[in-house]
Amino acid sequence: MNGSSFIDKADQIFILLKLWVIGFLPAWAQQAAGVVLCVVAIICVFPGLFAISVLLERKGLGRMQNRLGPNRVGPYGILQPVADGIKSLTKEDLVPNSADGVVHFLAPVFLVVVVFMGYAVLPMGRNMTLVKMDAGLLFYFAMGASTELSVFMAGWSSRNKYSLLGAMRAVAQMISYEVPLLMSSVAVVMITGSLSLEKIVEAQNQYTWGLPHWYIFTPWGFAGFVLYAVAATAETNRSPFDLPEGESELVAGYFTEYSGFKFAEFFLGEYVGMLSISGLGATLFLGGWSAPFAFLGWVPSWIWFFGKVMLSICVFIWLRGTLPRLRQDQLMNFAWKFVLPLTLLNLFVAALWRFLGNEWERWVVCSAILLLAYVVMARVGFKRKHIGPRSYRYAD
């Protein structure tokens, strides 16, 4: 009994801390103070994770390329993000003469604000959701779609051809991949019957023979997760979909004209966006804060959530270290001719899964449909050169 209460306390430690702090305040201020505390916590924790992921990325990419990575600032280079932060804070903030000053200033601020808004609905642990919203997923995607606006604000206001080209690429890409991102999540909503992210996690937090009911362990869930991962990579402008900032042709894309802390804000926005979209992916397909095995249920729920998020970040880094950048037409072909049809098919398969009952046949039927579709579409795509190795009209 004593042990279980300790486990409960460890699980709910942040909630208890918050209650303890706001206990010092008068009753009328308690609710507002609680919300402010949660917001402050989110604004502190995720930039901290941002620093860790930047370091992981630089070290990890280095190792993948048989380099050492940063190892000068602090032991093993762990203070590199601090040095980078100080550098970007003390750098001169340049605004081009012909730029639209107000929009140029607002774009990075808007990006960071919008990216942090997404965290409002993410369940980061048992009872650890800032806003318990019934339409949480909808809110998340509304906020996620707003990042395109800030990217275009940045590109347009800079009055630089590279910025504008980068921004136009970014908007085209983000809108194209927004569709499969949403569609792959809709399958989860269909099965759960709720847009509330909390309910989605609760639905996955069950165990049969000690194994969890995560959606990734179903045929439609696995396909959905892969498609979601592809779309999420493109949505966050990560390699191999980092055309908007393709340095080989566009200097730095939409943030070419940004320096100093505004540049750091874009950087922060990108990584915090990655963390948040990983968090959503974990919530939708990887069981959110639930433990991977029933016997590990005593580990605090927030550890699982943050562990899954950081694991996704590592996969992002791994992909970045492996894949070269796509060409613009390949990117678009892949989105509209491969990913989107498969997500639509996945919706159908999810419906089939829902109505085929609890028999083993549904595993066979659903897996077969998805596998067949994957093979056929890959074949057709390769044949028509929609996807596959690069071909050059004039350089063969």
Partner 1 sequence: MLGEGILKGLAETARNFAGSYVSAERLTTVQYPEQRIAPIEATRDFPFLVYDGDNWEAGMRCVACQICEKECPPKCIYIVKSTDKKPDALGKMQIYPARFDIDISVCMSCQICVEVCPFEAIKMDTEFELSTTDRFGGLLLDRKQLAKSNEHFHQIHPTEAAEVDARLAEEKVKADAKAKAAAEAAAAKAAAAAAAKAAASEAAAKPVAAPADAAAKPVGGETKA
Q: Which residues bind partner 1 (CB under 8 A)?
A: 60, 63-68, 318-319, 321-323, 374-375, 378, 381-382, 387-388
Strands 207-208 and 211-212 come out as antiparallel
Least distance CB 387 / partner 1 (angstroms): 7
User: Judged by CB, which is closer to partner 1: 65, or 98?
Assistant: 65
Structure tokens at 53: 């992921």
User: Judged by CB, which is closer to partner 1: 64, or 130?
Assistant: 64
Least distance CB 199 / partner 1 (angstroms): 33
Q: What is the CA radius of gyration of the chain?
A: 22
User: Judged by CB, which is closer to partner 1: 64, or 95?
Assistant: 64
Of 281, 285, 376, 390, nearest in space to 338 by CA:
376
Least distance CB 77 / partner 1 (angstroms): 12
Least distance CB 63 / partner 1 (angstroms): 5
The helix/strand/coil state of 191 is helix
Least distance CB 285 / partner 1 (angstroms): 18
Structure tokens at 112: 């960071």
User: Judged by CB, which is closer to partner 1: 22, or 317?
Assistant: 317
Of 344, 337, 332, 334, nearest in space to 370 by CA:
344
Least distance CB 165 / partner 1 (angstroms): 28
Are 308 and 275 in contact, with CB atoms under 8 Å apart? no
User: Judged by CB, which is closer to partner 1: 347, or 378?
Assistant: 378
Neighbour tally for 134: CB within 10 Å: 13
Show Cβ contacts of residue 242 under 8 Å, excluding neighbours closer than 6 positions: 325
Q: Which amino acid is at 104?
A: H
User: Judged by CB, which is closer to partner 1: 61, or 171?
Assistant: 61
Q: Is 30 exposed, middle or buried (0-12, 13-18, 19+ CB in 10 A)?
A: middle
